[in-house]
Amino acid sequence: MAKTAWVFPGQGSQSVGMGADLVTLPLAEARFAIAADILSWSVPQICQSEDDKVSNTLYTQPCLYVIESLLVDLLRERGFSPEVVAGHSLGEYVALYAAGVFDFSVGLRLVQRRAELMAQSSQGIMAALMGFDREALDDAIAATEGVVLANDNNPGQVVISGTIEAVEQIMETVKSKRAVKLNVSGAFHSPLIAPAAREFQDVLEAVEFASAQVPLLSNVDPTPATDSAVLKQRLAAQMTGPVRWREISLALPDLAIDKVVEVGPGAVLTGLIKRTCKGLTLANVGTLAQVEAFGG
């Protein structure tokens, strides 16, 4: 029988209209009501807003968490479960929920505060680079103060983060097929967001984590872990640390994973994994139709 990993996308995978096919399900109605009590706004309304409110960090992260955790529970209702979980940036919170580390409400409160702090972080910028020489990029980052590798997505795609000057210098000096600045409020996954990370640490420390029911590969340390203290420590480092997604992808075959299911809107993560690991079966569950067609 195939061993399956569930992976959860983060900011950038959202789209206007996501979750629209879920809203009338009894489980979804109950979940959206709980979310409205916590957030003081409606997830379905934000997701359906034609002015793309869902792409504002303040809304993006809670909306993704609510939609993705709902998809997790719909899959579980049908008897499915993973052997391993991982999430990309914000998606790691859904992975922790899927692994039973905290309940829905606790996770949403963490995500809400994370989104608030990150939305307020106006220092620095981020940029995506595609099609580059990895050694040249690593050398340039090492020689340039104020910039770090924020997302190591796959061998041909990364995101850098830092001061405006440092990021622009890398974009100008490292040859790539494409380099584009991201529409985000600050230099996420870099030391520039350390003040927000310190404030979030106080929130995180007050939350009790349970041991994970299945191993989780964390962004800052892509080795499997279930210990609650380890998972919390890794999550605490995540806001300023790198998303090591390429290494997470490479770890999956070593864990005897045969199939990877991206649970959430879009197909960003399966696209990244496809370019890193050729032998894995990939599937996407981001809509009700995909839930109902899912075969394990």
Q: In this predicted model, what pLDDT tens digit does every residue of 176-186 receive, in sequence order?
A: 999 999 988 88
User: What mean pLDDT is predicted for residues 260-288?
Assistant: 95
Asked if 73 and 22 count as a contact pair (C-beta separation under 8 A), the reply is no
Of the residues 13, 89, 190, 218, only one is catalytic, namely 89
Task: Give the pLDDT band of residue 97 (cuts 50, 70, 90).
Answer: very high
**Domain boundary assignment for the chain:** 4-120+190-293, 125-181
Q: If you average pLDDT over residues 37-66, what whole number do you get?
A: 95
- Average of pLDDT values for 39-48? 97
- DSSP one-letter string for 132-182: E-HHHHHHHHHHSTTEEEEEEEETTEEEEEE-HHHHHHHHHHS-EEEEEE-
Q: Are 169 and 191 in contact (CB under 8 A)?
A: no
> Is residue 187 predicted with pLDDT exceeding 70?
yes
For 4-120+190-293, CATH gives 3.40.366.10
Q: What is the pLDDT of residue 246?
A: 97
- pLDDT of 1 > 70? The answer is no
**Average pLDDT value for residue range 10-33:** 95
The phi and psi torsions of 61 (rounded to 5 degrees) equal -65, -50
Q: How far apart are CA 96 and CA 91, in angstroms?
A: 9
Whether 295 has a pLDDT exceeding 80, the answer reads yes
Rounded to the nearest integer, the mean pLDDT of the chain is: 96
Does the annotation count 89 as an active-site position?
A: yes
Q: How confident is the model at residue 175 (pLDDT cuts 50, 70, 90)?
A: very high
pLDDT in tens, 101-151: 999 999 999 999 999 999 898 789 999 999 999 999 999 999 999 999 999
Q: What are the pLDDT digits (tens) for 191-202?
A: 999 999 999 999
Residue 274 has pLDDT above 80, yes or no: yes
Looking at residue 15, its pLDDT comes to: 93
Rounded CA-CA distance 70/98 in Å is 10
pTM of the model: 0.96
What is the C-alpha separation between 213 and 226, in angstroms, rounded? 7
Are the beta carbons of 211 and 227 closer than 8 angstroms? yes
Query: Which residues touch 167 (CB under 8 Å, ≥6 apart)?
Result: 124, 125, 126, 127, 147, 160, 161, 181, 187
Percent of the chain with pLDDT over 70: 100
Once rounded to an integer, what is the mean pLDDT over residues 280-294? 96
Count other C-beta atoms under 10 Å from residue 86's C-beta: 28
Q: Does the domain spanning 125-181 belong to CATH 3.30.70.250?
A: yes
Mean pLDDT, residues 54-63 taken together? 94
Catalytic residue among 13, 121, 189, 190: 189
